[in-house]
């Protein structure tokens, strides 16, 4: 099976290298914000531990900070900005955002497909 998938790994690697080069050359730009932002994510989809990492980070950061989490809300049936409440429905907010809010009800949790606009 590895032999059959190897060509796809080469293509994936080339696309990632090209993407990184575009950032290095200034074709793609990073964004900065007035508030400190910790981005947790990667180029893989699902199952890499991002949600547990966010929950752990919210537990580790001192309570003197106003903490918030922003997610794309993967799997939700709604669009646009939406604040997540502990009693929200997963199909409205996405199950991961709801899990984060239920684990840390004191933190603001929101979903927005465009995370730059969401911040």
Q: Do 19 and 47 have their domain in common? A: no
Using DSSP, state whether 60 is helix, strand or coil. Answer: helix
Domain span at residue 39?
Answer: 34-118
Q: How many domains does the chain have?
A: 2
Quick one: CA torsion of 93, 99, 100, 103, rounded to 10 degrees?
Answer: 140
Same domain membership, residue 84 and residue 69? yes
Say whether both 43 and 95 belong to one domain: yes
Residues near 76 by beta carbon (within 8 Å), at least 6 away in sequence: 82, 90, 91, 92, 93, 94, 111
pLDDT tens digits for range 83-99: 999 999 999 999 999 99
Dump pLDDT digits (tens) for 31-86.
Answer: 889 989 998 876 666 677 889 999 999 999 988 888 999 999 988 999 999 999 99
pTM: 0.77
């Amino acid at each position: 099976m590895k032999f059959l998938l190897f060509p796809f790994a080469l293509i994936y690697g080339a696309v990632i290298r090209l993407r990184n080069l575009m950032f290095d050359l200034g074709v793609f730009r990073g964004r900065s914000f007035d508030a400190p932002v910790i981005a947790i994510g990667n180029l893989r989809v699902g199952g890499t531990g991002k949600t547990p990492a966010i929950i752990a980070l919210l537990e580790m950061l001192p309570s003197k900070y106003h903490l918030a989490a922003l997610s794309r809300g993967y799997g939700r049936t709604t669009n646009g900005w939406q604040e997540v409440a502990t009693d929200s429905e997963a199909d409205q907010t996405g199950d991961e955002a709801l899990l984060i809010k239920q684990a840390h009800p004191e933190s603001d949790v929101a979903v927005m497909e465009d995370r730059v606009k969401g911040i």
